[in-house]
Amino acid sequence: MSRIIAYKILLVLFIGTITLIGGLQLYHHRHFQTPIVAGPGVTEVKKLSDYGPGLDGTITDTNVFFLKAEQEGGKMLIIANTHSNEPAALLSSLIFLENAVVEKGTLIIIPQFNNSGGRNTRSGDGYPLYFEIKTHWGKKRFRMGNRVASPLDQWPDPDVYVHYPDRQLLSYLDIRNTNRTWPGRPDGALMEKLTYAAMELIRKENVDLVIDIHGAETMFPVTNCIVAPEKSMRIATMTSLTLKAMEGFDNHVEPSPSGFRGLSHREIGDFSDALPFLLEAPLPFLDQPTGPKTEDLLLNGKDPFLLKLSKKGKLFVPYDENGWPMSKRVGQHCSAVLEIAKQFTRKNPEKALLISNTPRYKQVVKNGIGSYFKDPSKAKKENIFHN
Amino acid sequence: MPFIMIIYYLISAYLLALLIWNFIREEKSVDQMLQYILIMIPLILRLFRAK
Amino acid sequence: MQTQIVFTFLVMISAYSFAKWRKVSVEISMFLAALAGGIFGAFTKTPPINQLARHLVEGSFAYLDVILIFVTATIFMAIISESGGVNYVVKNTIKYFYNKRLIALLLLMFITLIPGALTGAGSVSLLVVGAPVALALGYLGIKRRKVAAILFIIAGLSAAAPPVNIWAMILSAGTAIPYVGFELPLGIPVLLLGTFTVLTLGWKKQEKSTLESALKQMPQVPKGMKWWRVLIPFLVFFGLVIALRVWPFTLPVIGLPFQFVISAVFALILSPKKINIVKLSRDTVKKLTPLLSTMVAVGMLQQIMTATGVRGLISYAVISTPLILLFVSLAVIIPVSEGVFTYGGAAIIGIPLVWFLDSIGLHATVAIAGLSLLWPLGDGLPPTALIGRLSVMVSEYKRSYWSFLKSTWIPWVVITVVGLLMVIFSTQLDFLVKWSL
Ligand SMILES: [Zn+2]
C-alpha cells in the first residue's frame, strides 16, 4: 500500500514539474510584449475596436497605426500577422512603421492583426517560442505565433465552419483563421468580429489599397508571388514585371480563385472599393520535410532535405546552399509594397501615395533587418506601443 | 467570457475531477496512474488559461 | 545534422521497443519514446533542454478537443446503454427480423456503426454495443470466430465513418486541407464494405438455434423502455447537427462535446431507470483512459519528432519513394503504423504522405478518405491490437488471437483494395466531395 502511495507522489512530482515548467513558459509566451517604436511618420494610433463591436477589452484588440501626410492622396492599409507563424510579415510592417515618412496620402498599418494567434503556439509542430533579430543596439525579441487564434480567446470550434455570407463549408479549424473569416460579421465568432472591424476600417477610411503579407512553404505552388483578384490584376502584374526587371527577384502573379471564400484577397475586393493584394514569400521553416524546427531554420531557411529535394525539382522556388534568409524575404515584401503604391500612383495621380525613408530589397539584404529597428530604451515613452 | 466557453471549462473541470478520482482510487497499476496524470496535463493548463 | 536525426529516430524506436518489452502499455511507451527522443535531441540543442518540458506540454494539447469529444460522446452512449436502450434495440431486431436474415444483419451493422461514427473511435462501438450485438449475431447462428471478425471489421469501419473520423481530422489539421466534404467519400465505401462484410462472414447459418431460446438468453430490458426513449436523444443530437448547418448565422457555435452533453441530458431524463451519472462517468473515463492517453502521447510524440527533425526525415523518405512502390507498400505500412502508434501513425506517416499526394495532383479529400479506410485495419495488429482484442473479448472467442485474425482476411483484402483505388483514382472520384458539400 505505501509503495503505491510513494509511486503516486513520485508521478505527481515528475509530471507536475514538467507541467509547471512548460505551462509557465507557455503563459509567459502569451503575455510577452515586444515594444514597437512609432517612427517619424506616425500621426495617430487607434485601436481596431474603434471600428467594430466586440473587440474592446479583449486580447484580440490590436493597434492601428496611421501615417498621414499633410497632402491628401491615396490610402494604403498594410496587414501583417494574419498568420503569426509567418513572421516576415510583421518584420516588414515594422520597417514601415518605424521608418516610413509619407509625403502624400495615408499609410495605415496593423502589424499584429491576429493578436490572439500571435500569442498562441502550434501544438504538435515543435516551433521555438521566440526568435530574435540582431540590431546595432542588441537583439529584438519576437513571439513566434500560430496560424490560428488561441482557443483561450475563441472556444469551442464548430464541427464544421460555415463561412459567412456564402455558406461555403470550411474546416472547423478555419473559424480561428483570420484568412478564412473575411468579410466577417459583427455578431459572429471573435475572429469574424475582427475581420468585420477591419472591413469597417477599410470602408470608413475609404482605403484604396490593402496589402495582406504572408509566407508559404517552398513545396507549395502559391509561394513567392502576389495573389490578386481581377480588379487588382493590372497593378499586380505591373508590380511583378517591374520588380523582376529593376530589382531582379521573381514574384509571379497568382489569380485569386473566386470559388474559395473567406480569403482577404477575395472578400476585401468584393465587399469594399479597395484593391486587395496578398504577398507570399518562401518560408522553408513551414515545409514538412525539414530538419529540426529551430530559430536558425526560421531565420535563415537553410535545410539539407530541402536542398536535396530542390535538386530533384520538387520545390516551387529556386533554392541553394544559402537557403532563404529572412532579410531576402522581408526585402521582397518592402519592395513589393512600395512598388504597388508606385504603380497605383501612376494610374491614379489624383490619389497619389508617396512613401519615403523606407528601404527596398537590396538595402534590406545589405544592411540587415535589424538596422531598421529603433532602440526602445532610447525612444520617447509616448512613441512606444504595446499590444 | 461567453456562456458556451464557460460550459467548456466546466466540461474540462468535470473530466479533470474524474481523472483525479480514478488516479487516487488506482491501487495496482503504475502504468495506469501515469496515463491518468498525462491526460490531466492539458486540462489543468487550459483551466489555468496557460494555453 | 542528418546523422543526428537518424540517431534520434533510433533512440526513439529503442526506447519504445524497450518499454514494450518490459510490458509497458503502448501509450506510456510512446510517451517514453518522446521523452527519450527529446533528451537525445537536446545534445545538439534540437530542441534545447530548457524547452523539453514545454514541447511535451504543448504537444499534449494537440488533440484536447478530440479528447473532449471522446469523453462526452462515450458518456452519452453509455447512458443509452445503461438505460437498457441498446439491449432493447438489439432484442427487437432479433424478435422481428429473426427470419429475415438480410434485414437483421444490416440492422445489427447499423447499430454497431453508430457509436463509432459519432465518436470516431471503434472501441466505443465495441464498449457500448459490442456485447449485445455479439449475442444477437450468435443467435443468428454465426460462429464466435466469425462474430469476432464481423465486429472487428464493422467497428473499424465505424471509426472511419462520418461525421467524426479522427484519422481524417488529424490529416486535415496537419495539412491545412478543410475537414469538409467527407460525408460521401467516407459514407458510401463504409456502407458498401460493411454490407459486404456482414454478408460474406455472416450469411451462412452455421449453428442451430431457435428464436425462443435466443430471446430467452438475451439480457433483460428494463420495464417501461419504449422506442421513443431511445430515439429522442439521437434525434436531439442529429437535430443539433442539422440546425447548426441550416442556421449557422443565428445559432452560436456549440461544438460537438456540448452537443453530446445536451443529448446526454435528454438520454438521462428519458431513461426508465435511475442512473448514477457520476459513477457512470467515472467508469466510462476509466474504460476510455487508453484512448485518451493515446491522444496525449501521440501529440507529444508528434511535437518531439518535429522539433528533432525526425518527422522531416520520415516525410523526406516518403517523398523520395518511387510512386508505384509507395502505393503498394501503403497496404502494409499504414496498418502497421496504426498497430504500433494507433492514431500516431496518421500523424507521423500520414501527414507527410498526404502533403506529397496533394502536391502530385491527387484529390486530397478523397485520398484521405481512402487512406482512412486502411488505418482501422491496423487496430487488429499487435502491439496495440486495440479493436481486435476488444472484438475477441466481447464475442467471448476463446481460441488463439491469430485464428481470429485469419478469419478477417476476405474483408481485409477487399477494404485494402478499395482504399488504395480511392487514393489512386481520387481525382476521378472528386464528385463524391462535391455532392457532399
Ligand atoms: Zn499565411
DSSP per residue, C145-174: HHHHHHHHHHHHHHHHSSS--HHHHHHHHH
Q: Name the residue of chain B whose CA is nearest to C20's CA.
A: B31
pTM over 0.90: yes
Q: Name the residue of chain C whose CA is nearest to A308's CA.
A: C316
Contact A126 C315 (CB under 8 A): no
Q: Give yes or no for a cis peptide into C47 (omega within 30° of 0).
A: yes
What's residue C344's pLDDT?
Answer: 75
Residue C7, burial from CB neighbour count under 10 angstroms (0-12, 13-18, 19+): middle
- DSSP classification of residue C348: I
Distance CA A171, CA A179 (A): 13
For ligand 1, the distance from its centroid to the CA atom of residue A256, given in whole angstroms, is 14
Q: Name the residue of chain A whose CA is nearest to B11's CA.
A: A156
For ligand 1, the distance from its centroid to the CA atom of residue A84, given in whole angstroms, is 8
pLDDT digits (tens, 9 = 90+) for A227-236: 999 999 999 9
CB contacts, 8 Å: A4 with chain B: 26-28
Across the interface, of A1, A4, A15, the residue whose CB is closest to B41 is A15
Three-class SS state of C134: helix
> Of the given ranges (A258-267, A297-306, C403-412), which has the lowest mean pLDDT?
A258-267
Q: Give yes or no for a cis peptide into A276 (omega within 30° of 0).
A: no
Domain ranges of chain C: 2-436
What's residue C372's pLDDT?
Answer: 95
For ligand 1, the distance from its centroid to the CA atom of residue A144, given in whole angstroms, is 14
Q: Answer yes or no: are the C-beta atoms of C343 and C334 closer than 8 Å.
A: no
Contact A11 B34 (CB under 8 A): yes
Domain ranges of chain A: 32-386
Q: Using 50, 70 and 90 to split pLDDT, how confident is the model at B31?
A: very high
- Average pLDDT estimate for A54-80: 97
The torsion defined by the Cα of C314, C316, C318 and C323, in degrees rounded to 10, comes to -170
What's residue C340's pLDDT?
Answer: 79
What's residue A1's pLDDT?
Answer: 63
Distance from CA of C152 to the nearest CA of A (A): 27
Across the interface, of A124, A156, A303, the residue whose CB is closest to C253 is A156
Q: Answer yes or no: are the C-beta atoms of C267 and C76 closer than 8 Å.
A: yes
- DSSP classification of residue C216: H
Is residue C41 within 8 angstroms of chain A, CB to CB? Answer: yes
Residue A298 has pLDDT above 80, yes or no: yes
What's residue C238's pLDDT?
Answer: 85
Whether this model's ipTM surpasses 0.90 comes out as yes
- DSSP classification of residue C350: I
- Average pLDDT estimate for A141-158: 96
Across the interface, of B14, B39, B46, the residue whose CB is closest to C293 is B39
CB contacts, 8 Å: B39 with chain A: none
What's residue C119's pLDDT?
Answer: 80
Is residue A19 within 8 angstroms of chain B, CB to CB? Answer: yes
Interface of B with C in 16-45 (CB under 8 A): 18-19, 21-22, 31-32, 34-36, 38-39, 41-43, 45
Amino acid at A167: R
Strand A63-68 to A101-110 pairing? antiparallel
Kindly list the partner chains of chain C, i.e. chains with 3 or more CB atom pairs below 8 Å.
A, B
Q: Answer yes or no: are the C-beta atoms of C139 and C94 closer than 8 Å.
A: yes
The dihedral sign for the CA sequence A356, A360, A363, A368? positive
> What residue ranges of chain C have pLDDT lower than 50?
none
From the candidates C52, C316, C343, C349, which should be mutated to test the interface with A, based on the most A CB atoms within 10 A? C316
The alpha carbons of chain A give a radius of gyration, in whole angstroms, of 21
> Of the given ranges (A154-163, A277-286, C278-287), which has the lowest mean pLDDT?
A154-163
Give the CA distances from residue A304 to residues A266, A313, C174, in Å, rounded to whole numbers and listed in that order.
36, 14, 22
Alpha helices, H only, C180-226:
183-202, 211-217
In CATH, what is the architecture of A32-386?
3-Layer(aba) Sandwich (3.40)
Show the cell assigned to C112: 454497431
Across the interface, of A121, A123, A169, the residue whose CB is closest to C180 is A169
The dihedral sign for the CA sequence A142, A145, A147, A148? negative
Domain ranges of chain B: 3-47
pLDDT digits (tens, 9 = 90+) for A236-257: 999 999 999 999 999 999 999 8
Three-class SS state of A361: helix
Distance CA A309, CA A311 (A): 5
